[in-house]
Each structure stands twice: as structure tokens, then as C-alpha cells.
Structure 1
């Protein structure tokens, strides 16, 4: 089952579960640990928390767009988004925690109060895609579950609901295909039919493992629990 097969109420529940999972990981960090580096190039945990907080604020703007019909883009520009995160990473620990809590509450309030008739309204993502505003549930789900792992204090892909893992793998493989990446790559998820990333290419590399391990590898978060014919290669770039 994919995320899109769920009802809207179920989708929002999964997003809220992911938010709670991120919040738990965040609460377990000391203020000092917030400024330690992560595995994401050039980002501390403070950058990550600022990003997740400002992402919620950006999704609020899409919700406002759907509610009012007035175009309110997620970000004025890519530069503005980057500047916002960089400046957010300099906030005090208390301010960062408040940013996360406040923007989470705002987004949840907008999800609760959007009229049923507005959920199909078309809005534009930061990448320029036109999508129904209901897509914000998946956009947020992806952010909070993956970045909870990126905090580096105990989050695991193995904790994700299967519907999130399945949908992440579909997204990642779809992006590789769109970018014409991954020729010759075959993914072998335990207990499932293999997935040829580029079906018309000759298979030259097989990567196998559990669903959680393969999604972790495909998302660029390490090769723990996956196997290949030799050394496990780096995955194609996803985002």
C-alpha cells in the first residue's frame, strides 16, 4: 500500500506520528548537542531543526493559498530558503525548540480547519510542481521521518511505518528514473519482487536487504544492512 492509498485522515495521522517521532528525538538532545554536526554536509542539528521548523511554516503558506485562492509560494526564492535556515541555525536552543513547536502547531491548525472542498486546490511546490494541497501531508511526512534519523540520536528507518517506507522507495526510484540515473541497478527487497531502476538497461549491480535498509541506502543515509556483489556503491543522488 502506498501513502496515496490512505484516506486524508489516515495520511495526516501518519504525518503527525512522524512529527511526534521527530519531537521525541529533539527532546532527548541537550541544548549543547543541538550545535553539533550531523551527517548532512555543512549542517549542525540546529540547521536541521530550523529547516524542519521553517518547512512547516512554508507548508502553512500553501494551506493559506488553498484556503484563500491567493498565491502564497512556499519560499520567495531558493536563496531566501537557504538564508532562513542559516539564520535559524544561529538561534538559541530555546528559540529553536520554540520555532519547532510553534510551526508544528500552526500547520496542524491549518490542516484541521481547511474546508473539505479546498483540499483539491492546486498549489505549487518549491520545485515548481503543481499538486493538490492534500500533498502537504506527504511532503511533511517525508520531512519529519527522515530528518528524525538525521538528528543522529537513535532514530531508525526501521521505526518508520511500512507505508512510509514503501512510498519513499517509490519516490526515490521514480526520481532516479526521471533523471535517467541508476542504469543497471536492481533493488532486491527481502520477500519481494526485484525492482529494476531502469528496466531497459542490463542489470550490472544488485543491492539487497530489508525494506528499511534499502530505503535508508537509497535515501543516501548509509549502507547498514544492505549487500551487493562486492563493496556497496553510493546510491544515485535523489534530491
Structure 2
């Protein structure tokens, strides 16, 4: 059986690569402040397209989306057999890295959705989280790739559905209080770090300086 690579969307919708690229460029200010090509894109996509709210943390969202595109591209380059190889995390395979990226995105998306629809966020203990990652590491390659692709796409949709006031709200999940605005920076840090941890040619100099100063300040001089 061939490799189970990340699917693309056909027809009138953007391909996966085009969707991620568009996500990385997404922002949330008035049309009059957009560049002409961005205004043209919004007009072409139509009124049904999603955009970030005006008070969304634009810089952090852009960095997180760029990191997502980078991570998924490095994942796409790996064969199914190569997913079994060791990652930069001691004692953990690349599968574990992919599972962590996917499950964190799913957890964040569910938490954001809970606030948006005013429901109770799902709770998971630290032990439950570790067990979930262990199970994720053993998923079939196709399922593992789909987890990463689907969960990151879902999270991006939830971010874009948050209103202005929602971004400063806090929610308690598993005993921790989370502010959505700050959580985007956490996601940006993790997605770029894990892209490097795949040990698939990812370079620290590819990581935006704004993220490197948060996860590895001593590497900021590397270009």
C-alpha cells in the first residue's frame, strides 16, 4: 500500500496547500486598510468566506498559521515508514510529534468552540492527556496524518469564528485558566518547535525570530 499523504480538496474549493497559504495570510482589518490584491481576493471569495475579527491577535495568528503550513509540508515529505523513526524528542518517534500537534489543535478547537457557543469545555486530566498521546502514536499512518490535517484546519476555523469580545475571555480547562489571545502564541511556539523536532530538514533559521525568542532565545543569532 502506498503512503497515506494528506488529502487535498478538489472542485471549487482551494487545495490543501492553497488553503494553508491563504490561512497564513489571513487578517482581520477593514477592507480600506488592505492591499489591492487582498481586497481582490476577498471580493473573489465572496461574502461567505471567514475572516478574523478586528480584535484578533493578528501577529500571533499569522505566525501560528505559517508554522502550521511549515509543519504540514515537512510531514508531507515523510513516507509512512519514516514516521517510525526517532524524533528530536528523546525516546519518541515522529509519530508522537504528529500526534501531539494534532491533539493539541483538537483540544484548543474544542475549548474555543465551547466559549463561542457558551457550552462546557471538555475536560482531560494530565494522565488522560499522556494516554491520548500514547494511543495517537500507534495510530495507522493515514489516520495520524488526517488527525494533524483535520484538527489544525478545525482550529483555524474556530479562531476565525471568534468575535471581538471572545478573544479576551478566559476559560478553565483541566484546572488551568486559559486566555485565548495568549493561547495563540503558545500554539505558534509548539507548532514551530515540533516542525524542527520531526528531524526532517527543518531549520531553526526558518523559524520566525518572534517565535525563536520565546522558545530558544540563544538561537536568535542563527540565520
Q: Flag whether TM exceeds 0.5 (same fold).
A: yes
Alignment-derived partner of residue 133 in structure 1? 180
Structure 2 counterpart of 1:49, from 85, 98, 101: 98
Structure 1 counterpart of 2:195, from 116, 135, 148: 148
Matching of residue 15 in structure 1 with residue 64 in structure 2: yes
- Which structure would you say has the larger Rg? 1
Higher relative contact order (Cα pairs below 8 Å, separated by 6+ residues): 2
Residues 74 and 200, structure 2, Cα contact 8 Å, conserved in 1: yes
Question: CA separation of 1:123/1:34 partners in 2, compared to 1, >3 Å: closer, same or farther?
Answer: same
In 1, Cα distance between the equivalents of 2:204 and 2:135? 29
Alignment-derived partner of residue 61 in structure 1? 110
Alignment-derived partner of residue 27 in structure 1? 76
Residues 62 and 133, structure 1, Cα contact 8 Å, conserved in 2: no
Matching of residue 101 in structure 1 with residue 149 in structure 2: yes
Give the Å deviation of 1:169.
4.8
Residues 35 and 46, structure 1, Cα contact 8 Å, conserved in 2: yes
Alignment-derived partner of residue 127 in structure 2? 79
Structure 1 counterpart of 2:220, from 211, 215, 236: 211
**1:109-160 CA distances to partner (integer Å, 9 max, x unpaired)?**
101111112111112366x542321222112101110000000011111111
Question: CA separation of 1:120/1:7 partners in 2, compared to 1, >3 Å: closer, same or farther?
Answer: closer
Give the SS at the match of 2:72.
Answer: helix
TM-score by length of 1: 0.65
Give the Å deviation of 1:34.
0.4
Alignment RMSD, CA only?
2.3
* Structure with the larger strand share: 1
Structure 2 segments unaligned to the other structure (5+ residues) = 1-54
* Structure with the larger helix share: 2
Residues 189 and 214, structure 2, Cα contact 8 Å, conserved in 1: no
Structure 1 segments unaligned to the other structure (5+ residues) = 1-5, 171-208, 214-224, 226-239
Give the Å deviation of 1:93.
1.0
In 2, Cα distance between the equivalents of 1:93 and 1:117? 39
